[in-house]
Every structure is written in C-alpha cells, then in structure tokens.
Amino acid sequence: MQTPRFHRFTALFIVSLACFVTLSAQTPVATPPPAVIEDDDVIHVNSRLVVVPVSVLDAQGNPVTGLGLNDFRLSEENRNQAIDSVGTAESVPLEIALLFDVSASTDAMFRFQQETAAKFLRDVMRADDRATIFTVGQRPVLVQSRENAERSAAAVSGIVPTKEQTAFYDAVRMAAEHLRQNSPEGRRKVIVIISDGEDTNSDGVTKAIWEAERKVTENIQGAKLRELRVKARDTAKAQEQVKVLKALQDADAVLYSINPAGSSYQLNSISQFGQENMQKFADDTGGTAFLPKFLPIDTANNYENTNNMRKNSDFLERIFRQLANELRAQYLVQYYSDGEFADGKFVRVRLDLVSNSGARVRARQGYYVKN
C-alpha cells in the first residue's frame, strides 16, 4: 500500500520533469563572445611606416655620432609624431647609386673625377654595403648592379667618356627606381651624381619638342620657331623635375650632386637651370649639391693648366671627404604616421634635434602618400 509520503514525492518528481522539458524546448541564449584584448604590438596595423634619412654634422662639418631615439623631434604637417626607431650609419648598411655624366659637357676633368670617385667608394663602403653604377649619356646605362667596393671602383675606372647628349632626368629616375626595387628593406639609400644637371635628351623633353614642332605650320620659321621649341623644352623640364623628385621620395633616397662645371655654370641659363635642378633634388631629399670652384685646365699656358689641375684635384678630394663625412653622420629615422591623407598627397615632414647644439641637420622634406 502506497503511503502519502510516496504520493508527495511522485508529484514533486512529475512537476520537476515537466519544468525541465519546458526549459529544454526554449531557444538557448547565445554565449557572449570573449572580450577583445588590445595588444600594444598591433597598434601599427592601420598606420603608414615612413623612413626619414637624416645626416647630422657639427659646425666644422664633422659627423655627429652616437645619437639615439630621444635626441630627435619629428612632426608631420605640423603634428608631432612618435619616432619608432633610429638606425645609425654603423648599424645600417648603405646602398649607393653612382651616376657618371659621360657627355662632352664634363669631359675636361673626366679622368680625374673617375679616380677620385673610385677612391671614395673604397674609403666609404664597408663589407655589407653595395654600389650600383650608371652612366648618363644619350640614354642612362646600368653599368653594374649592387657590387662591393672593389668591383664598383673597377667599374667606375672603366667608364669611357662620349660626345653624346644627356638624358639627365631619365638617369636619375632610373637610379631611384632601381634602388626602390632592388635594395633590401631597412637600408640607407643614396644617389651620387657627377653631372652639370643639364638635360638635352630625356624622353619627356624630346617628346615635348617633337610635339611642338608637329603643330607648327609652314609659316613659322626662324626666331619664332626657336622660341616655340624653347618654351616647349622648358615646360617639359619643369614637368620632368616633378616626376624625378617623386621617384626619389618614393625610393626614400638621398641625392648628392657634384657639378664639374664649377663656377662656369653661371654662363648661360641652361647651366643655371641644371644646377638649380640638382640643388632642389638635394634639398628636398636631405642631401647636398656641391658646386666646386674649379679653375680652367685648357688654357694656352701648360704650366697654368698643370697648377690648376693640382688645385682642382685638392678641391674635389675635399668634396668627396665632406660627402663621406655626411654618409658617416647619416641616421635612418622611422615612424608610423597616424595621419589620414589622400593617395598621392605630398606630406611635409620636419625633423630636428631636441637640443639646440648648433649642429646642422639635413633630412628629407616629406613623402608622397601610397595608400
């Protein structure tokens, strides 16, 4: 016979079972996702890495070494940026593109320029550094790609001067693109060009002149035709200048130039524009445009020619020593930009020393955005 206690237990069991069945039939509540923990290591995912080559010299032109991250101050479009790293000349390998103008405009001291440039490569390059050699003539020619100091010096010594026209813009742009495409990441990239900066045969310049002549009617001749050609040439040169500067900035390359024309560059407007070209490229990338005060070596007085050659030799050697000092004083500053800019915009960058030590700082002036 079943007791009342048994009946109460049975009833409680049935009620509990019914509740369980009812709850099981309901739609289950989704488990909330785990909280996302932000890691400092990934804060740069949406940022843009910018490389700023910079050289620091004291008042006497000697390299200032031993600087670190806390010694520099950097801003982008007048907004302060946090510097991520600073590489020194001792720790960051060097990529040099050396360009030799083989046209008749630089023929007088060509052999001596070769010897001095070859010595410069042997002096400044270390085991991990690489040099690429180009000639600047009717077309830019790649003589040798990414070799050590000895092979690069030998390649320079083997260059033969010509009487060709000069494709200056094409050569500099070709060198910049070669560095951008072939240099390993994290290296200092430098272009050294020995030229007067004059251009008579780059594709953009010649095409502009041809296009201008194609539109000329038979009634335009003489002075009017020459005026039309000059206008087309000058417009094309200004456009080529912009293209070359963009190629230099895209390659994170610093340009140094040595003008063998010396003070004679002031004799005509074309020579002046050539030097202004190289000055602008150097200023905007953080380099230097050297303008030697060479003396004439083709006078009727042989004694004077010999004496002037010796003086010119000393002057050119001092320039290459100064260039070597700048490369030894070079740092590679890197930061992650937090700015949002349109593709292709030129973003201005300013880099200074935190302490006002009187040192001279040369750095690139900005970069073109690539989103």
Each residue's pLDDT tens digit, 59-77:
888 888 889 999 999 999 9
Asked whether residue 114 carries a pLDDT value surpassing 80, the answer given is yes
Domain with residue 118: its CATH number is: 3.40.50.410
Query: Is 102 domain-assigned?
Result: yes
| Residue carrying the six token digits 């050699």 | 133
Give the model's confidence band at 44: pLDDT under 50 very low, under 70 low, under 90 confident, else very high: very low
Query: Is 285 domain-assigned?
Result: yes
Query: Is 14 domain-assigned?
Result: no
Give the model's confidence band at 172: pLDDT under 50 very low, under 70 low, under 90 confident, else very high: very high
Give the model's confidence band at 287: pLDDT under 50 very low, under 70 low, under 90 confident, else very high: very high
Q: Are residues 263 and 339 in the same domain?
A: no
Query: Is 334 domain-assigned?
Result: yes
C-alpha dist (Å) from residue 64 to 131, 228, 230: 24, 51, 46
Q: Which residues pair with 348 in a beta bridge?
A: 366
Q: Are residues 350 and 274 in the same domain?
A: no
Q: Are residues 65 and 124 in the same domain?
A: no
Asked whether residue 292 carries a pLDDT value surpassing 90, the answer given is no
Q: Are residues 270 and 349 in the same domain?
A: no
Domain range enclosing 57: 43-89+329-371
Give the model's confidence band at 275: pLDDT under 50 very low, under 70 low, under 90 confident, else very high: confident
- Which comes out higher in pLDDT, residue 162 or 211? 162
Give the pLDDT confidence score for residue 50 in this predicted structure.
94
Asked whether residue 12 carries a pLDDT value surpassing 60, the answer given is no
Distance CA 282, CA 298 (A): 30
Q: Is 242 helix (H, G, I), strand (E, B) or coil?
A: helix
Give the model's confidence band at 213: pLDDT under 50 very low, under 70 low, under 90 confident, else very high: low
Domain with residue 62: its CATH number is: 2.60.40
Query: Is 317 domain-assigned?
Result: no
Distance CA 208, CA 212 (A): 6
Distance CA 134, CA 152 (A): 11
Calculate mean pLDDT across residues 265-278: 73
Last residue of a domain, one of 235, 267, 293: 293
Q: Are residues 83 and 123 in the same domain?
A: no
Give the pLDDT confidence score for residue 311 in this predicted structure.
87
Q: Are residues 153 and 211 in the same domain?
A: yes
Query: Is 104 domain-assigned?
Result: yes
Give the pLDDT confidence score for residue 34 in this predicted structure.
41
Q: Are residues 129 and 83 in the same domain?
A: no
Query: Is 166 domain-assigned?
Result: yes
Asked whether residue 78 carries a pLDDT value surpassing 90, the answer given is yes
Q: Are residues 192 and 217 in the same domain?
A: yes
Query: Is 77 domain-assigned?
Result: yes
Give the model's confidence band at 13: pLDDT under 50 very low, under 70 low, under 90 confident, else very high: very low
Q: Are residues 179 and 213 in the same domain?
A: yes
Q: Are residues 223 and 276 in the same domain?
A: yes
Q: Are residues 186 and 141 in the same domain?
A: yes
Give the pLDDT confidence score for residue 338 in this predicted structure.
84
Give the model's confidence band at 29: pLDDT under 50 very low, under 70 low, under 90 confident, else very high: very low
Q: Are residues 126 and 270 in the same domain?
A: yes
Last residue of a domain, one of 277, 293, 309: 293
The DSSP secondary structure of 287-310, one letter per residue, reads --EE---PPPS-SS-HHHHHHHHH
**Angle formed at CA 148 by CA 146 and CA 154, multiple of 5 degrees:** 100
Count structural domains, the chain.
2
Residue 36: partners with Cβ closer than 8 Å, 6 or more residues away: none
Mean pLDDT of the chain: 81
Give the pLDDT confidence score for residue 74 in this predicted structure.
95
